[in-house]
């Protein structure tokens, strides 16, 4: 596609449930990032993939959060035993990873997660 | 660690006028990039402008320009001829050069353009 896409657009779940959020990066982009944006705040880094591997997962808040990118394209963010504090917009971004515009990250529209 | 500070929570400007959004940052590194992103109510984070720290010349993109003061660690965004479509949240962001460089964002500023 032309841009980064994320599904679902909105997700409502109950406390304790498991959720998966999907990100489809721009074709050919090797770098993929997940961020979390709480209400009224700027996005905060969660995890970064270069290809298939997680190069930096230092932003994941705890072991309930996990992300994969098995084929180096689509990525899934997985949250186990959701808590109300997990409610936020989850943003995905991708970048070419090299070249003149390699440093610019292009964002998807985000998934708004609400944990009841 | 890097930090980005946007101290103005809200600003308002009359259509067709000029407005400046402030941003300061803190880092001990010498090579980095700075960005301004726009986030309308649709949530889509849109790149407005970027600045490479090694460049002394301020970046410009049509009605948008920056005032980059490296020594002062200041990176303000000027929007000329403001349009109603400029109404959005604006985030200042920082990243180091090289691989594995996450973006660090400020808290953002809500800009309202009045007709």
pLDDT tens for residues B39-59?
998 888 999 999 999 998 999
Q: How far is CA B102 from CA A21, A42, B44, B47, in A?
A: 20, 13, 18, 15
CB contact under 8 A, B42 and A109: yes
Mean pLDDT of A15-20: 98
CB contact under 8 A, A40 and B107: yes
The length of chain B is 115
The length of chain A is 116
Write out chain B residues lying below 8 Å of A91, CB-based. 43, 45
B85 three-class SS: helix
Indicate which of A6, A103, A113 best probes the interface with B, i.e. most B CBs within 10 Å of its own CB. Answer: A103
d(C-alpha A20, C-alpha A22), whole Å: 7
DSSP state of A91: E
Per-residue pLDDT tens over the stretch B60-99: 999 999 999 999 999 999 999 999 999 999 999 999 887 6
Write out chain B residues lying below 8 Å of A93, CB-based. 45, 103
Cβ-based contacts under 8 A for chains A and B:
60
């Amino acid at each position: 596609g032309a841009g980064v896409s994320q599904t679902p657009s909105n997700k409502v779940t109950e406390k304790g449930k498991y959720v998966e959020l999907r990100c489809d990066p721009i074709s050919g982009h090797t770098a993929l990032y997940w961020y979390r944006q709480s209400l009224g705040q700027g996005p905060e880094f969660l995890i970064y993939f270069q290809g298939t591997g997680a190069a930096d997962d230092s932003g994941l808040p705890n072991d309930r959060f996990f992300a994969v990118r098995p084929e180096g394209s689509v990525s899934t963010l997985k949250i186990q035993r959701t808590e109300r504090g997990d409610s936020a917009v989850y943003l995905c971004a991708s970048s070419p990873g090299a070249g003149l515009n390699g440093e610019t990250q292009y964002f998807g529209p985000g998934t708004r997660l609400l944990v009841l | 660690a890097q930090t980005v500070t946007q101290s103005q929570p809200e600003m308002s400007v009359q259509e067709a006028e000029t407005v400046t959004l402030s941003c300061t940052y803190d880092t001990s590194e010498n090579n980095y990039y700075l960005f301004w992103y726009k986030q309308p109510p649709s949530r889509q984070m849109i790149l407005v402008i970027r600045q490479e720290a090694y460049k002394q010349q301020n970046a410009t993109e049509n009605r948008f320009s920056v005032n980059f003061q490296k020594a002062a660690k200041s990176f303000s965004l000027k929007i000329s001829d403001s349009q109603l479509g400029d109404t959005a949240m604006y985030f200042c962001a920082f990243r180091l050069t090289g691989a594995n460089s996450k973006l660090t964002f400020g808290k953002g500023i809500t800009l309202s353009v009045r007709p």
